[in-house]
Amino acid sequence: MQISEAISTFRTQQFSTLRQSTQVTYTKLLNHIQQHFIGRDIESLTAEEVGRLLEVLTANKAKSTRRLKYAQVKAFFNFLINECLVDIKNPCAHPMIARQYKNPKPAVRTILDKELVDQLIYNTASDRDRLLLELQARCGLRIGEVLKLQAIDVSDRKLTIHEPKSGKESEIAFMPEQIAKRLAEYVVANHIEPEERLFPVCYSTVRSLIRRLAEKFKVKITPHDFRRHSATYASRNGVPLEIVSKVLLRHHDLKTTQVYLGKVNDTEAIRWMDVLHGK
């Protein structure tokens, strides 16, 4: 298979599932690949040649950008191997290349317990601030999704998330009954029109709000820690991982959800053994 045919096939079959911004990134990448290997057959490419391409693509780039480019090139070759049945080994899997672009050991994430989350939420100064935190901590929304919500996106206990991170046109998130009731009352009380944002503030405002609350309780947290809490709290209370992943967090891959979940300590492990098999 020639490189031009491979790229054309990748565009046709994969671009429909990618967000617009990701399509732009991949278009630039594919153009580089085509120019670098013009007229070549995929089967003739060596790991050394692909390694040199990656060096060109990632020269003077930040480590995170280098890893992203590597992951995208690797995904391109995986597509050809798995979907187009090209009989090659992925050149990006060569130890020489993989070592250069390996991911760092993931940092230990802060996992907020329910008592602290409740205290943070109940200490907010307004209905707006409380809802901002609850939609993250109870419903698993990303802060960016919360800030984009309009009144028209609210329907009983469902929220329509437009242009989500998954690349889909929209997704549905769900709310507990009490939060749905408070949100409906908030919309009425503030005379919010259907096309108006529910929370007309910016990310820095929310970050400052959370920082002030966190300082009061002598902890250090970010907005995303509330979404992470929603996943861990649900998982520790018996909600199946698939529901946590597909409904609460709306992840495409269960592996992504598993990264969110905190490590289980000894006390938690013993509690679950008692739940499963009795004391």
Under 8 Å between Cβ of 54 and 99 = no
* Domain 114-277 fold: hpI Integrase; Chain A (1.10.443)
pLDDT at 135: 96
CATH of 3-100, one of 1.10.150.130, 3.30.1340.10, 1.10.1060.10, 3.30.230.30: 1.10.150.130
Helix segments in the chain, DSSP class H: 3-14, 20-36, 47-58, 63-82, 95-100, 114-122, 127-137, 143-148, 177-189, 203-216, 223-236, 241-243, 254-260, 266-277
In 10 A of CB 72, how many CB atoms? 17
DSSP 59-104: TT--HHHHHHHHHHHHHHHHHHHHTS---S--GGGSHHHHHHTPPP
pTM: 0.63
- State the average pLDDT over residues 121-137: 96
pLDDT by residue (tens digit) across 61-119? 998 899 999 999 999 999 999 999 899 999 999 999 999 998 877 666 667 889 999 99
Helix segments in 83-172, DSSP class H: 95-100, 114-122, 127-137, 143-148
Angle at 105 between CA 101 and CA 106, to 5 degrees: 115
* Cα 22 to Cα 28, 29, 58, 62, 250, distances in angstroms: 10, 11, 17, 18, 19
pLDDT at 249: 87
Estimate to the nearest angstrom the gap between the alpha carbon of 267 and the chain centroid.
29
pLDDT at 266: 65
What ranges do the domains of the chain cover? 3-100, 114-277
pLDDT by residue (tens digit) across 140-194? 999 999 999 999 999 999 999 998 887 788 999 999 999 999 999 999 999 999 9
Cβ contacts of residue 83 below 8 Å, gap of 6+? 9, 13
pLDDT at 187: 97
- State the average pLDDT over residues 243-259: 80
Structure letter (DSSP) for residue 263: P
φ and ψ of 173, to 5 deg: -115, 155
Asked if residue 12 has pLDDT above 60, the reply is yes
pLDDT at 106: 62
